[in-house]
């Protein structure tokens, strides 16, 4: 039975490729903390440090505690791995084969025991090599001490054990932040290009993935780790890598300042502060997760130095702050050394720093452009940004609100339900109302504008074609097709619903997961049914991301404690989930690089069509009634292909051909009539709308009433200078 359950986890070895070779070379198992599993014990343990080195098969340990009386005890060691008991042993510390000096008997008062012991081969051989290789191994040891005479339990401790390998490494966070930063630069390059051309909106126009898409994906993985379910340690560690995308950055000095702010505004720091977390043992509420060393049964040894009530200073207890039992969002935050009551203020300060950087950066760029312009060599392409930098700043901040809105709803509701500072709750209410109001205002204005356009023009194409409207509102709908400009409204509702469900149902994992699954499926159905993105690649990328989100929530159902899924199955599911999400993250990184190339060689499709419409409008604005381009038989795009000679327009005739004619020669028939101008549709800017010439204009060009309507110089009684059969309608 010894650790045979490890044999059904071969897929976990795939994660070894993500670890440095030097890390894999070490084969050490050690405790990383302990907690008491017996209230008011007779023997209080203050410090436990145990480490097993597989290279020389030795265990070193450090044990300190106090006892209310001298007593003989029996010890019982139980080791579980992935929810399965892999080792169980009962022994008497006073037996010859299992002699432990400081437990035979347990002395009254404080005691300290340190030492090193070689582990017999029968114990060390039972530890499979995979135990030293799997990151975030899920195992746990429980040591119980019972009175020898009465059998009453007098002490109980549980301890985690780590092999030093984890998927929660800074490199993963740095890579993820690098991917998001690259997406931001690519999207910002597109934004700056549009702004330089006239203060335009930042948009990828359907090229994907954008910064919003990429950052939203990282936020989704972080929010998955906040559900109140029994995650395996390996996935819990993986999800923490993306906490930065939700604004959770463990900054000790900032947390101390927030603690002081809370203390001054009604907060209670006794069990909810950064100082408490620094000293406490964190324990999951769903189950006692990780681990202890399987070969602890080999702590039957000699070579142990002991002190009883000695003057030697005992080691500093590893758990002076007590225990902190947590689950759900509290577990996610406090593992990052952020007290749950500090969460909202942490994100608020981080967001304020980001906004300040945006404002300072844009103003600095404006200053540079102004100094550049003073030298007289200022490029005209940057004039748009120079003249519209306030608009660019406002659009950037609104876009930031749009990106963070879902997690902002989450943190504000969490502050309302778990916070203890009245000032922090007030700030949460104000900012949530402000952010919701900003998005609601733009949603209403865009809907109202689209409604008016449909009444006048029959559609809302002017949202894309009218430059002024594009500059104001395009950041909400620029990547969608013209018929699906409204899709940003369901996206905002989707983000709001996710944040509400996750925060309001905190502590109820099954309800959270089911609601999240419904929300994700509805969004998937919306995207798959309409395929709203401007480009086919945009539809494929975003639908695939949404499919992975749905599958991720389905996998999270395996972690729901009420369903009773075995921990081994949960761990395998966690590994599969990590593999799928990591693969998609890698694909996004590749697509971002492709996106950068596309943006450099292709123009935003919406902006391109708008520019073409504006050019056509300029060409048509200088038409006259006699202009040959005004003919309804000509293609509008070809009407500008006209040669001018003596202020006369010759369509589709080259300059050399026109010059070969003698324009000074009088026409053979001076009475040849010119065709009256035909009414035409006058362009109205980029919208391409028009109307027939007004009746007033037609009347002005008509012959006076009651006068001869013949050509000038020809009397009514005069015979025509040509026969009717000679007329060929040339002027028409």
Residues 415 and 531 occupy one common structural domain: yes
- The C-alpha atoms of residue 43 and residue 49 are separated, in whole angstroms, by 17
| CATH code of 31's domain | 2.60.40.770
- Does the pLDDT at position 391 exceed 70? yes
User: Which pLDDT score, from 0 to 100, does residue 65 have?
Assistant: 83
The DSSP H or E segment spanning 88 is: strand 84-91
Residue 464 lies in a domain: yes
Q: Is the pLDDT of residue 165 over 80?
A: yes
Residue-level pLDDT at 528: 94
567 and 689 share one domain: no
Closest alpha carbon to 307 in 62, 559, 481: 62
Judge whether residue 404 has pLDDT over 90.
yes
More confident residue, 4 or 151: 151
How does pLDDT run across 261-274, given as a tens digit for each residue? 999 998 888 888 88
Structure tokens at 560: 């729901």
The residue whose two tokens read 């998955």 is 224
Residue 45: the pLDDT is: 81
Dump pLDDT digits (tens) for 168-219.
Answer: 888 888 888 888 888 887 776 665 555 444 444 334 444 567 888 889 999 9
Closest CA to 580 of 600, 539, 606, 551: 551
Residue 155 has pLDDT above 70, yes or no: yes
Count how many domains the chain has.
Answer: 3
Q: Which two tokens stand for residue 179?
A: 């991917």
Residue 262 lies in a domain: yes
Phi/psi of residue 16, nearest 5 degrees: -65, -25
Residue 724 has pLDDT above 60, yes or no: no
Residues 123 and 196 occupy one common structural domain: no
Q: Is 423 in the same domain as 499?
A: yes
Q: How many CB atoms lie within 10 A of CB 565?
A: 16
Q: SS3 for 485?
A: helix
Residue % of the chain over a pLDDT of 90: 26
Q: Is residue 249's pLDDT more than 50?
A: yes
Token pair for 110: 């404080």
Residue the block writes with tokens 């950052």: 215
Together in a domain, 128 and 85: yes
Using alpha carbons, list the distances in angstroms from residue 51 to 54, 89, 299: 10, 19, 11
pLDDT digits (tens, 9 = 90+) for 326-357: 678 988 998 888 999 999 999 999 999 999 99
Rounded Cα–Cα distance for residues 229 and 512 (Å):
9
18 in any annotated domain: yes
Close Cβ partners of 320 (under 8 Å, ≥ 6 residues apart): 279
Q: What share of the chain is helix, strand, coil (3-state, %, to 5)?
A: 55, 15, 35
Does the pLDDT of residue 640 top 60, yes or no?
no
Which H, E and C letters describe 286-312, residue by residue? Answer: CCCCCECCHHHHHCCCCCEEEEECCCC
What would the DSSP string read from start to end of 360-383?
HHHHHHHHHHHHHHHTT---GGGH
Same domain as 89, residue 147: yes
Most confident range, picked from 264-273, 548-557, 563-572: 548-557
Please say whether the dihedral angle defined by the alpha carbons of residues 597, 601, 603 and 609, taken in this order, is positive or negative: negative
CA nearest neighbour of 127 among 297, 11, 301 = 297
Q: Which of 12-21, 380-389, 545-554, 619-628 has the lowest mean pLDDT?
A: 12-21
Look at the pTM and tell me if it is higher than 0.75.
no
**CA neighbours closer than 13 Å in the CB half-sphere of residue 475:** 29
Q: What's the per-residue H, E or C state across 229-275? A: CCCCHHHHHHHHCCHHHHCCCCCHHHHHHHHHHHHHCCCCCCCCCHH
Report if residue 730 sits inside a domain: no
| Window from 233-237, 453-457, 477-481, 596-600 with minimum mean pLDDT | 596-600
- Give 325's contacts (C-beta < 8 A, 6+ positions apart): 283, 284, 285
Is the domain of 212 the same as that of 276? Answer: yes
Of residues 284 and 549, the one with the higher pLDDT is: 549
* Local confidence band at 546 (pLDDT 50, 70, 90 cut-offs): very high
Of 135-149, 183-197, 288-302, the range with the lowest mean pLDDT is 288-302
**In the structure, what pLDDT confidence band is assigned to residue 405 with cuts at 50, 70 and 90?**
very high
Residue 648: pLDDT over 60: no
Based on the fold, state whether residues 263 and 304 are members of the same structural domain.
Answer: no
| Mean pLDDT estimate for the chain | 74
Name 345's Cβ contacts closer than 8 Å, sequence gap at least 6.
258, 261, 262, 421, 424, 427
Distance CA 519, CA 550 (A): 9
Looking at residues 489-503, what average pLDDT do you find? 95
179 in any annotated domain: yes
Q: Are residues 509 and 414 in the same domain?
A: yes
DSSP 711: P
CB 66 within 8 A of CB 109: yes
Q: Is the pLDDT of residue 720 over 70?
A: no
Across residues 472-477, what is the average pLDDT?
Answer: 89
HSE value, Cβ hemisphere, 13 Å, CA-based, for 703: 8
Q: For the segment 428-455, what is each residue's pLDDT rounded down to a tens digit?
A: 999 999 999 999 999 999 999 999 999 9
Least confidently predicted of 7-16, 107-116, 575-584, 644-653? 7-16
Whether residue 643 sits in one domain with residue 584 = no
Last residue in a domain, options 572, 602, 632: 602
pLDDT value of position 622: 57
pLDDT, residue 222, reads 93
pLDDT in tens, 665-683: 444 454 444 444 434 333 4
What domain range includes position 115? 4-166+290-318
3-state secondary structure of 700: helix
Give the model's pLDDT for residue 484. 92
DSSP sequence for 675-690? PPPPP-PPP-GGG---
Closest CA to 180 of 497, 700, 585, 613: 585
Same domain, 174 and 238: yes
pLDDT reported for residue 679: 40
Q: Is 282 helix (H, G, I), strand (E, B) or coil?
A: strand
- Greater confidence, 102 or 265? 265
Q: Are residues 312 and 373 in the same domain?
A: no
pLDDT at 439: 96
């Amino acid at each position: 039975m010894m650790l045979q359950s490890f044999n059904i986890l071969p897929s976990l070895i795939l994660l070894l490729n993500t670890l440095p070779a030097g890390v894999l070379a070490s084969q050490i198992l050690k405790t990383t903390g302990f907690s008491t599993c017996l209230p008011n014990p007779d023997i209080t343990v203050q410090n436990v440090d145990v480490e097993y080195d597989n290279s020389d098969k030795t265990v070193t340990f450090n044990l300190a505690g106090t006892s209310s009386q001298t007593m003989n005890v029996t010890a019982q060691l139980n080791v579980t791995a992935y929810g399965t008991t892999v080792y169980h042993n009962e022994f008497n510390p006073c037996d010859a084969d299992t002699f432990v000096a400081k437990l035979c008997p347990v002395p009254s008062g404080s005691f300290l025991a340190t030492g090193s012991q070689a582990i017999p081969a029968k114990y060390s051989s039972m530890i499979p090599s995979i135990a030293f290789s799997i990151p975030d191994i899920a195992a746990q040891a429980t040591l119980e001490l019972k009175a020898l005479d009465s059998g009453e339990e007098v002490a109980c401790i549980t301890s985690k054990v780590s092999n030093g390998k984890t998927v929660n490494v800074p490199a993963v966070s740095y890579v993820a932040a690098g991917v998001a930063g690259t997406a931001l630069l690519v999207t910002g390059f597109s934004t700056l290009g549009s702004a330089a051309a006239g203060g335009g909106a930042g948009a990828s126009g359907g090229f994907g993935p954008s910064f919003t898409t990429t950052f939203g994906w990282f936020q989704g993985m972080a929010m998955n780790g906040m559900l109140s379910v029994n995650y395996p340690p390996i996935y819990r560690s993986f999800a923490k890598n993306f906490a930065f995308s939700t604004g959770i950055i463990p900054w000790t000095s900032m947390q101390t300042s927030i603690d002081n702010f809370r203390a001054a505004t009604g907060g209670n720091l006794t069990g909810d502060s950064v100082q408490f977390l620094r000293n406490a043992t964190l324990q999951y509420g769903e189950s006692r997760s990780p681990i202890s060393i399987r070969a602890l049964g080999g702590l039957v040894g000699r070579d142990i130095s002991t002190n009883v009530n000695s003057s030697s200073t005992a080691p500093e207890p590893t758990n002076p702050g007590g225990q902190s039992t947590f689950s759900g969002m509290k577990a996610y935050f406090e593992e990052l050394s952020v007290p749950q009551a500090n969460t909202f203020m942490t994100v608020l300060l981080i967001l304020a720093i980001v906004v300040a950087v945006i404002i300072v950066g844009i103003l600095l760029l404006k200053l540079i452009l102004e100094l550049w312009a003073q030298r007289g060599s200022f490029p005209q392409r940057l004039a748009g940004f120079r003249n519209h930098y306030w608009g660019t700043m406002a659009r950037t901040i609104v876009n930031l609100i749009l990106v963070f809105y879902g997690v902002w709803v989450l943190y504000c509701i969490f502050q309302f339900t778990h916070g203890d500072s009245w000032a922090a709750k007030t700030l949460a209410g104000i900012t949530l109302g402000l952010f919701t109001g900003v998005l609601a205002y733009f949603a209403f204005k865009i809907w109202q504008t689209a409604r008016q356009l449909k009444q006048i023009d029959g559609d809302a194409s002017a949202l894309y074609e009218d430059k002024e409207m594009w500059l104001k509102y395009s950041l909400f709908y620029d990547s969608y097709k013209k018929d699906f400009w409204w899709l940003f409204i369901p996206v905002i509702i989707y983000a709001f619903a996710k944040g509400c469900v996750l925060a309001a149902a905190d502590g109820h994992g099954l309800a959270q997961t089911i609601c999240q699954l419904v929300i994700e499926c509805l969004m998937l159905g919306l995207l798959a049914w309409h395929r709203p993105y401007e480009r086919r690649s945009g539809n494929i990328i975003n639908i695939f991301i949404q499919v992975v989100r749905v599958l991720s929530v389905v996998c999270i159902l395996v972690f729901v404690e009420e369903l009773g899924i075995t921990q081994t199955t949960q761990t395998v599911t966690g590994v599969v989930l990590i593999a799928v999400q990591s693969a998609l993250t890698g694909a996004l990184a590749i697509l971002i690089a492709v996106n950068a190339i596309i943006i450099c060689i292709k123009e935003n499709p919406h902006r391109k069509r708008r520019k073409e419409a504006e050019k056509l409008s300029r060409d048509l604005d200088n038409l006259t009634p006699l202009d040959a381009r005004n003919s309804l038989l000509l293609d509008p795009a070809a009407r500008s292909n006209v040669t001018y000679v003596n202020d006369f327009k010759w369509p589709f005739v080259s300059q050399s051909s026109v010059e070969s004619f003698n324009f000074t020669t009088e026409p053979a028939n001076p009475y040849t009539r010119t065709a009256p101008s035909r009414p035409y549709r006058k362009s109205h800017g980029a919208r391409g709308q028009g109307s027939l010439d007004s009746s007033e204009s037609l009347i002005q060009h008509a012959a006076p009433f009651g006068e001869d309507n013949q050509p000038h110089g020809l009397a009514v009684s005069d015979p025509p200078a040509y026969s009717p059969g000679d007329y060929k309608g040339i002027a028409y």
